[in-house]
Structure 1
Amino acid sequence: MRIYLPTTLPALAAALAAGRVEGDDGTPLRAYAATAALRGLVGDDDEALEYEAMRAAADASLRLLAADPAAPRRRVVLAADIPDTAIDPVHDADPADPGGPDDPAAVAVRGGVPLKRVASGHVDDDAAADDIAAGRTDDHELLWFATQELPYLVE
């Protein structure tokens, strides 16, 4: 299944150094995917489903940026392909969390994600930083980066 992992540039640097994306203290990673619940809202258009899952991950990246004032103001989303057996639906998350159980794209990923499973990175253009810092994301689409380009983003 294709999942979308929200992150930040400093967290991406740590994942590149570790060779994997992992949750804090072994907790499952929060990710976003084209779930059955999302399909019930969006319909059967696969492209629309993937776009909405990525948008949800981009929104989650914005929340991660709010929690890390030192991180560059650029949303980062990693697209990865992992076995369905490594994914659990999100049922018991905090209802006050905007990416919680009310988000139909939310999933939990057990065991982390090896970088070899990452298919691409999606990052805001550097010129969008002021808007991203102000929470104005509507006019900005994430740019696509091949996996071999990811190290250059964090240098």
Structure 2
Amino acid sequence: MRVYLPCTLPALAAAVKAGEMGPAPLTGYAVTPALTEWYASGDTEELEYVALTEAARASLRLLAAAGGEAPPRRVVVAVEVPDREVSAGVGIEERGRVRLAEPVPLAKVAAVHVDDHDAVADVEAAIAALPASDAGDDDAKFTVDGAEAHELMWYATQEIPDLLGT
């Protein structure tokens, strides 16, 4: 199963150093039965895009929690894991949310998706607007959604060192 793990650039660097995505448990996003039922008209590619988008939103929250210690670029790590290692969330807010009980070896990383440098200003604005957005401010929600206007760039696993500047 393809699982999209929200991340940050410093966390990705730490994972490369450790040789695995962790520590467990890990929260990710995937095409779950609940997501498939909710998004009934989509094909697999569309559903995977929805899961990727959810992971990008979670990455934005990780950036906000980092308090400016991480470069303002959303990061999503796509991993391939056996279905038996994935447990799906429950409830309407967790349609695509999954849990991985074990760290994921880097050998299971399929690709990394990262904001281009052109997205930085919009990501910074979205991070600043998150508290007001969560409180229901429509203008702040619009600002947060503005980060999603930027498509994440795709990087092959062999490009990770270049992406990290190592």
Indicate the structure whose relative CO is greater, using CA pairs within 8 Å and at least 6 residues apart. 1
Distance (Å, rounded) in 2 between the aligned partners of 1:38 and 1:108: 15
The alpha carbon displacement at 1:139 in A equals 1.9
Q: Is the 8 A contact 1:87 1:108 kept in 2?
A: yes
Identity, in percent, stands at 49
Structure 2 residue 119 is matched with structure 1 residue 119 = no
The alpha carbon displacement at 1:138 in A equals 2.9
Structure 2 residue 56 is matched with structure 1 residue 65 = no
Distance (Å, rounded) in 2 between the aligned partners of 1:67 and 1:154: 20
The alpha carbon displacement at 1:90 in A equals 2.2
Structure 2 residue 157 is matched with structure 1 residue 147 = yes
Match runs of 1:98-113 below 5 Å: 102-113=93-104
Distance (Å, rounded) in 2 between the aligned partners of 1:89 and 1:51: 17
Q: What SS does the aligned partner of 1:73 have?
A: coil
The alpha carbon displacement at 1:84 in A equals 0.8
The alpha carbon displacement at 1:147 in A equals 0.3
Match runs of 1:47-66 below 5 Å: 47-66=45-64
The alpha carbon displacement at 1:85 in A equals 1.0
Deviations 1:39-68 (A, max 9, x none): 011125101110000000000000000001
Give the unaligned 5+ runs of structure 1: 92-99
Q: Is the 8 A contact 1:89 1:107 kept in 2?
A: yes
The alpha carbon displacement at 1:123 in A equals 0.3
Rg comparison, structure with higher value? 2
Structure 2 residue 12 is matched with structure 1 residue 2 = no
Cα-Cα RMSD: 1.3
- Residue 96 (structure 1) aligns with: none
Q: Is the 8 A contact 1:42 1:48 kept in 2?
A: no
The alpha carbon displacement at 1:101 in A equals 6.2
Q: Which moved more, 1:58-67 or 1:82-91?
A: 82-91
Under a length normalisation based on structure 1, what TM-score does the superposition of the two structures give? Answer: 0.89
Structure 2 residue 121 is matched with structure 1 residue 130 = yes
Distance (Å, rounded) in 1 between the aligned partners of 2:52 and 2:148: 14
1:6 alignment partner AA: P
The alpha carbon displacement at 1:77 in A equals 0.3
C-alpha change, 1:101 and 1:30, in structure 2 (3 Å) is farther
Under a length normalisation based on structure 2, what TM-score does the superposition of the two structures give? Answer: 0.83
Give the unaligned 5+ runs of structure 2: 127-145
Q: Is the 8 A contact 1:90 1:101 kept in 2?
A: no
Distance (Å, rounded) in 1 between the aligned partners of 2:92 and 2:35: 12
